[in-house]
């Protein structure tokens, strides 16, 4: 059994890049094909063996909690209409009783603060952190790949998913320095947030998947505000790295930054083309549209 049982999902963001769509609906509930973003990420965690799903929410996010609850009226209607396939789909997506927790982040103080808000539920055990606006399309879920490697590391190790980007784009991301490699994992020798052009220690950027030790909460508790006036998770990880090892992990799969319009649209196309029930017809529609350009 894996040492990682709990996962944090920060879902308190305002989603301003998708206004007006997100004026009354959380960005995490925007759909890729026919499933909300947050459902894909929860499914990834479930595949990795996560047992407890911790959502750090904000105002007007109640619909996320409703999504992971029973809808008795809907279920009754489907049952009366003998919609067995739809009922089975709802049942499949439903977490077990007691497997979800919802916590309020009252102030928008950044990712580090959102993680810190979950400290009492996580307790003093290692945990996973998944950013819901990053989708990873892979045969084996990104987090499952990470945990399989993490379980072979030292008991106090931290693991971060990374991916390659062109060197002329490293200034846009958090970047890690690369040390000794062991398979898909390597020792992180340093971390820097949005380095100046030409100064990045590598072309590996931090992606939205982490396995972290509970000592990160101790640093977040006293972490001052950093870039953008927010409590930055990267700053706390840099501080923790002085006493605990950090590893980077080159996962197999493709990421989609669904916090951007292009990333969101690309995800819809890629996930639709991966669906046996949609791919052929959708490809035909795409070809027809592209043929008109």
Confidence (pLDDT) at 49:
94
Grouping H, G, I as helix, E, B as strand and the rest as coil, residue 145 is helix
* Rounded mean pLDDT, 84-110: 83
Q: What is the pLDDT of residues 191-225, one digit of tens each?
A: 888 888 888 889 999 999 999 999 999 999 887 66
Highest mean pLDDT among 137-141, 179-183, 220-224 belongs to 137-141
**4-8, 80-84, 173-177 — most confident range:** 4-8
Q: How far apart are CA 151 and CA 14, in angstroms?
A: 35
Give the per-residue pLDDT at 224: 67
CATH of domain 6-259: 3.90.550.10
CA distances for 211 relative to 32, 107, 136, 214, 257, angstroms: 26, 25, 16, 10, 20
Neighbours of 181 (CB within 10 A): 12
Element (H, E) at 192: strand 185-193
> What's the rounded Cα separation, in Å, for the pair 102 and 57?
7
DSSP 175-188: EEEEEEEETTEEEE
Per-residue pLDDT of 254-270, as tens digits, reads: 999 999 999 999 999 99
Cα–Cα dist 236/243, whole Å: 12
pLDDT computed for residue 228 by the predictor: 61
Residue 293: band (very low, low, confident or very high) from pLDDT cuts 50, 70, 90: low
State pLDDT tens for residues 6-47: 999 999 887 888 888 888 889 999 999 999 999 999 999 999
Model confidence, pTM: 0.91
Report the pLDDT averaged over residues 223-233. Answer: 72
Average pLDDT over residues 244-256: 95
* pLDDT band at residue 283 under the 50/70/90 scheme: very high
Which H or E run contains 43?
Answer: helix 37-47
Other CB atoms closer than 10 Å to residue 240's CB: what's the count? 21
Residue 226 pLDDT exceeds 70: no
**Residue-averaged pLDDT of the chain:** 90
* Helix 84-93 with 72-80: angle, nearest 10 deg: 150
């Amino acid at each position: 059994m894996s040492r990682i049982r709990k996962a944090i999902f920060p879902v308190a963001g305002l989603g301003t890049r998708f206004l007006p769509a997100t004026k009354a609906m959380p960005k995490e509930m925007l759909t890729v094909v026919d499933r909300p973003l947050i459902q894909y990420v929860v499914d990834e965690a479930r595949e990795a063996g996560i047992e407890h799903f911790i959502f750090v929410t904000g105002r007007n996010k109640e619909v996320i909690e409703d999504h992971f609850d029973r809808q008795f009226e809907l279920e009754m209607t489907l049952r009366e209409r003998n919609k067995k396939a739809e009922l089975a789909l709802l049942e499949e997506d439903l977490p077990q009783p007691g497997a979800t927790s919802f916590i309020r982040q009252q102030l928008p103080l950044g990712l580090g603060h959102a993680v810190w808000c979950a400290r009492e539920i996580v307790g003093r055990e290692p945990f996973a952190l998944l950013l819901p606006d990053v989708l990873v399309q892979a045969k084996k879920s990104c987090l499952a790949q990470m945990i399989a490697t993490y379980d072979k590391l030292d008991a106090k190790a931290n693991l971060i998913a990374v991916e390659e980007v062109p060197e002329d784009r490293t200034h846009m991301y958090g970047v890690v320095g690369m040390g000794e490699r062991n398979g898909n994992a390597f020792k992180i020798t340093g971390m820097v947030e949005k380095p100046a052009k030409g100064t990045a220690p590598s072309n590996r950027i931090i992606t939205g998947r982490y396995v972290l030790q509970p000592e990160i909460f101790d640093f977040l508790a006293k972490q001052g505000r950093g870039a953008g006036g927010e409590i930055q998770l990267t700053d706390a990880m840099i501080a923790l790295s002085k006493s605990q090892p950090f590893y980077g992990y080159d996962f197999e799969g493709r990421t989609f930054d669904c916090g951007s319009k292009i990333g969101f649209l690309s995800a819809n196309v890629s996930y639709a083309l991966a669906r046996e029930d949609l791919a052929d017809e959708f490809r035909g529609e795409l070809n027809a549209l592209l043929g008109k350009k």
